[in-house]
Amino acid sequence: MTLTKWRSLSLLCILTLAVSLIVNACNLLPQQLTPLRVGITSWAGFDIALYAQEAGLFKQRGLEVQLIRFQNQQDATRAMLRGTLDANFASLWDVLQSDSGSDKPVVVMVTNISHGADGIVAQPVIKSVANLRGKRVGAKLGTVNHLILLEALKLHQIKPEEVKVEDISNETAVELMRQGRLDAAVLWQPLLGETAQAIEGDIIFTTGEVDSLVIDTLVSRSTITRTKKAELKHFIKAWFDIMSAVEIKPKEVFQKVANNLGQKGEDFAKDYAGVKKGDIAMQQQMFQSGRLPEAIAQMAKLLKSDPRAGRMPRQDVEINTELVTTVIKEWKS
């Protein structure tokens, strides 16, 4: 081999090695994640996410999260589907009734299931759900309150049309209950307990009495689950960090969240006690055992049983099992 050929071959080997080292180095660098815009409404099962901001958990996962506050879940879901948000916290019931559009909703995680935090408060003369036949019950049609009422009626074998539903907000329902102008109302804590105490009435039903369909989720759209898969995975990892902290140091978690909300730590703790938290065990139950498709079918049946809401269930809600299943394997506390 001539000296010139040897030098050329050596240079080629060096260049090949250099390119290999550069490529491998790039692969080892942390992946640059784009900001994630997430809609959130006031609910203990969602507000627990504030701990990730207060404790820097999102940053530790290399993620910038903007939590955008909405007054109701319907508006947040609409914004997400139209592209203003990347994801949002919403009940599966609301997702099922969301407006149709160019993209479809995708459930990527379960945040919690109501287990006593929602219920029905009634005037003192009404002692049971069975006494609601022919009565006026405050519940915004199409919302989670409507679902809670339908669950209670089904449990007591009462047809939806046997109850007069007043299509009103929580705040209006509370005021009418205090004035004695409403027989019962569907509310969530702390309004549920506060109203019962104020009118000296009874809480005649809570979601703790059933395997509730009040299933709350993190939902995105199909485009984002493809283009921001890494960001969603890191968000879910941060969520599992939160769930771990709730298990290990609940007082600290509740206090930090309460401080952000302007509440007392013990008050937020009481509200959160009314839900089953969305930890890894719950994700496995909901995504890997077929519970979510089953729940959607049950919700669709309930919605059709009471057409007063004027909404038909979507047929294209997607359940993405890949993201949460992958994160469960990768997550480390």
pLDDT grade, residue 107 (50/70/90)?
very high
Q: What is the pLDDT of residues 130-189, one digit of tens each?
A: 999 999 999 999 999 999 999 999 999 999 999 999 999 999 999 999 999 999 999 998
Q: Has residue 270 got a pLDDT over 90?
A: yes
Quote the strand ranges of the chain, DSSP E: 36-40, 65-69, 87-91, 105-114, 118-122, 136-138, 164-166, 184-188, 202-206, 215-221, 275-277, 318-319
**Short-list 172, 144, 115, 181, CA closest to 42:** 144
CB 102 within 8 A of CB 132: no
Question: Beta-carbon neighbour count of residue 318 at 10 Å?
Answer: 15
Angstrom distances, CA of residue 90 to CA of 44, 111, 180, 217, 243: 12, 9, 32, 5, 18
What is the structure's pLDDT at 26? Answer: 39
Condensed to tens digits (0 to 9), the pLDDT of residues 65-77 reads 999 999 888 899 9
204 pLDDT above the threshold of 90: yes
Whole-number mean pLDDT of the chain? Answer: 90
Tell me if 236 sits within 8 A of 89, measured CB to CB: no
Classify strands 105-114 and 215-221 as parallel, antiparallel or unpaired: antiparallel
Task: Give the separation between CA 19 and CA 304, rounded to whole angstroms.
Answer: 62
The candidate with the shortest Cα–Cα distance to 223, out of 64, 74, 102, 135, is 102
Give pLDDT, residue 1: 54
Q: pLDDT at position 310, please?
A: 87
Q: Give the strand pairing for 118-122 and 202-206.
A: antiparallel
Q: Is the pLDDT of residue 278 over 80?
A: yes
Q: CA triplet 326, 88, 205: central angle to 5 degrees?
A: 100
Residues 7-26 have pLDDT tens digits of: 555 554 444 444 444 444 43
In this prediction, residues 270-276 reach a mean pLDDT of 95
pLDDT exceeds 70 at position 315: yes
pLDDT value at residue 21: 42
Structure confidence at residue 31 (pLDDT): 61
Residue 276 has pLDDT above 70, yes or no: yes
- Cα separation of 132 and 112, whole Å? 29
Looking at per-residue pLDDT, the higher value among 333 and 219 belongs to 219
